[in-house]
Amino acid sequence: MQWKRRIALWSGAILVALAAILFAKASNWAYALFQRILAHGSWIPLLITPVVFGLLAWATEGRLRATRGSGIPQVIATMHIEDEGFRERMLALPIAACKMLLTLIALTVGASIGREGPTVHVGAGLFYSLGRRFGFTDPKAASRFILAGGAAGIAAAFNTPLAGVVFAIEELAGTFEHRFSGLLLTAVIVGGVVSLGIMGNYSYFGEVRASLVLGHAWLAVLLCGVICGLLGGLFARLILLSRNGPLAMVGRLRARWPVLFAAGCGLALAVIGVLSHNSVYGTGYDQARAFVQEASTTPGESFGIVKLLANVVSYWAGIPGGIFSPALAVGAGLGHNIAHLLPHAPEAAVVLLGMSAYLSGVTGAPLTSAVIAMELTDNQDMVIPIMAACLLARAAASIFSPTPVYKDFAERMVRDFERLQEEKSVNESESQVLPAPLKKP
């Protein structure tokens, strides 16, 4: 059994790393195709984006409903619900394959989404299916495979092995057991070796050698933590579509006319794209890299806010796609704006603080956000300022979003499942109580 477990882990980690690399290459190709389409006219998204958004909403109404959104809430929900049928619906290999395909289609029409959340979903699905094939059908064992798959997914997506482990502990599991450590480390290390061998040793945003002196550091930490944290919490509240208040009406419209609503979101995204000179489409990777590397050409002063709006309407559409990369892009844009208030502080350092603080505000995971920001830029000089900004941002974000966004979505899935189970048990009990129909003489 020990060797079967090792073989399953090694095989799963290799498959997840290969899937993540393939997904990353395909995502770049899909967005490059959109850029070529866009070169023929900035008005083209006004026609194609609403249509494809509507088709994606229609395609995910039935059996493919589990492919909607980022995929991380689905993984968290399967960690808490040990029902085999529920896990199969959320993590089956066809779901993972369709998740990748539909995300690529969305990127081909300029959706403001990321691929990292879907990669976590795919990684968990691959590990879960592989574990079952090797005979690990016990619910507790399956939970460990799901957790390891999610960790390998985020590590392979960003090439950030430490962030993969921290993300699994802080976001997916919410706790840590010593029995998880070997699974997590094995999955992340093997996947990291495969990624390193194919892609080489690289930093997602390139190497950033930025630092802050003590006085400037804490002023930048305060501004980035509060401003980016508040806006991150506001974004989380907007996409959660609470059942009470003004956002409840948006949720009811989406539930009643999902296809038309998604098409309307696609049109809104295209309008934002036209007004922003086509800067808000896609993951936002190029724009964030331009800010953090202090490139001579950047998207502009309004990028942070308009990208935030583009992220909201893309997520409201209910199509497959994550929020990690777009959130980093928004944070970079906001950090660029805040840097103008601190002329004596290095701009790249403030952008890095804004990026990590906004991500912390959105996800409610300050430790993961800090580690990701440091690994993405290969920067260890700003460990303390980044962690302080992330903690401050999480506190500020709780004003709008007390529960972390992924956890909130996952809790809704758990409640829906429990309600369906209760209704099913009530119907079964009623059918047993009802007397048998009388036979005609």
What pLDDT, in 10s, does the model give residues 352-403?
Answer: 999 999 999 999 888 888 888 887 777 777 888 888 999 999 999 999 989 8
pTM above 0.85, yes or no: yes
Which tokens belong to 231? 């806006």
Of 53-62, 291-300, 338-347, give the lowest mean pLDDT range. 291-300
By residue count, the chain amounts to: 441
Distances in whole angstroms, Cα of residue 221 to Cα of each of 117, 129, 187, 231, 424: 27, 43, 34, 15, 52
| Per-residue pLDDT tens digits for 239-272 | 998 777 778 888 888 989 999 999 999 999 999 9
- pLDDT tens digits for 4-56? 877 888 888 888 889 988 998 999 999 999 999 999 999 999 999 999 999 99
Predicted pLDDT of residue 150: 86
Q: Which of 128-137, 306-315, 426-435 has the highest mean pLDDT?
A: 306-315
pLDDT (0 to 100) of residue 309: 96
Q: Please state, in angstroms and rounded to a whole number, the distance separating the CA atoms of residues 417 and 420.
A: 5
pLDDT of residue 376: 78
| Collapsed DSSP state (helix, strand, coil) of residue 261 | helix
Cross-strand pairs, 69: 320
Which stretches of 39-138 are DSSP H helices? 45-59, 72-80, 84-91, 93-108, 116-133
* Burial class of residue 418 (count of CB atoms within 10 Å of its CB; 0-12, 13-18, 19+): exposed
Sequence-ordered list of residues with C-beta below 8 angstroms from that of 157, at least 6 positions apart, any chain? 20, 23, 24, 115, 116, 119, 120, 324
